[in-house]
Structure 1
């Protein structure tokens, strides 16, 4: 049976960030994730998550100004950003860290920089038992994003050649990049690369069940594949968050 995580950067935004943990705990969520926690004290975030009884599944590395810096930043700058993420991870104990690539043309230079940076991060995060996940992002939402399809993700993971790197399969993005969600999901899973799953409706990024995708079928596929992680609702509520939580019963 599917387990769900609330993305507290996009949902329950009617409340202050720290109050969203208790709000999520009142509904059928097994965990939480969020995007960028760096403006809030890590100890206070952990205290509120523990009080709500919700483990932290994932958060993002610092994004810079370009939806990530992994394909753009020289090693010293990139490593500083990951060091900050590690400081938070040591307190928050997430299972995964999403490292974004940035808006950058795919060239030999950006590719080499990305591979070097992600490999270094994977090594550092493995020491604290945090998985690195990388995510293909569609070109409608973020034009020019460096990592924009699954085939590129496969090649990068193979080239990075570190066991602590897997793929974040975001249904919202993969549907718009490739379609063929069932085949693509099986493909990622069979390759042993399914690191995390996120969901939002397509094309408007609202609650699951309100767009063109049959999320029930996708959730069933995840169950059949033996996926034992959470499915995170990374979507923009059409109205007040609690009014749209019927998708948890899909």
Structure 2
């Protein structure tokens, strides 16, 4: 099992480049990011190279946080901003040596939002294909992100089919999907290679994935998935200690 440290949550008391070094020191196989845009992409690439660790993904920007934005790609009237953010994220990922971009849908609803999301994702895939980058969409739970457009795997599957581009995949976050729908084994088996990345955390407290409602280790053993597993949780102890215990339980 190859595990990626999500540096949006882990080692948060350090600068981004320090987080990369800490994750590499602690034995993570890769790192993923939320919004590292304050760090020049070349500096991020240099830190990954120095740590000898793989860089996975970033998110598109959320938009105007004061106005409650949480992504823009499905928000009517924000198409120009959404596409500018997508282009920025793809360029940043390519220059930093990252392999994927998560396109954040945002808070929206209705047919117009769905149509705009598909159109923006087609634009995103065309941008990403030039660099060999995977595009990801992620269903989120409505408890943490009220009003979010994409909240379930059936909807995500329909979006992927409508976009019709081979570079688009689903990011399956066990924490979010336990809150929204559960039934992980059957769902993941049914999605198959549409799954581009998996993230894990405990439910309901989103701390280390070694407690709570879902037996994460058992779940991962049941599915035919060979990709990286992203540890996206709020730590209560040293991430390296959790990683060692997680691997020793396999």
Fold similarity call, TM over 0.5:
yes
CA distance in 2, matches of 1:131, 1:16: 26
State TM-score, norm by structure 2.
0.92
Aligned residue in 2 for 1:170: 173
Aligned residue in 2 for 1:188: 191
Report deviation, 1:120: 0.7
Aligned residue in 2 for 1:235: 233
Contact 2:57 2:93 in 1 (8 A): no
Aligned residues: 243
Aligned residue in 2 for 1:150: 153
State TM-score, norm by structure 1.
0.92
CA distance in 2, matches of 1:32, 1:248: 17
CA distance in 2, matches of 1:229, 1:216: 15
CA distance in 2, matches of 1:193, 1:182: 14
Aligned residue in 2 for 1:59: 58
CA distance in 2, matches of 1:96, 1:116: 19
Aligned residue in 2 for 1:40: 39
Report deviation, 1:237: 0.6
Aligned residue in 2 for 1:86: 90
For structure 2, which runs of at least 5 residues remain unmatched after alignment? none
Report deviation, 1:15: 1.9
Report deviation, 1:28: 2.7
Deviates more, 1:64-73 or 1:206-215: 64-73
Report deviation, 1:163: 1.4
For structure 1, which runs of at least 5 residues remain unmatched after alignment? none
Taking the TM superposition and a 5 Å limit, the aligned residue runs for 1:76-155 are 76-105=80-109, 107-155=110-158
Contact 1:126 1:164 in 2 (8 A): yes
Contact 1:5 1:230 in 2 (8 A): yes
Contact 2:184 2:219 in 1 (8 A): yes
Contact 1:4 1:248 in 2 (8 A): no
CA distance in 1, matches of 2:115, 2:181: 25
RMSD (Å), alpha carbons:
1.4
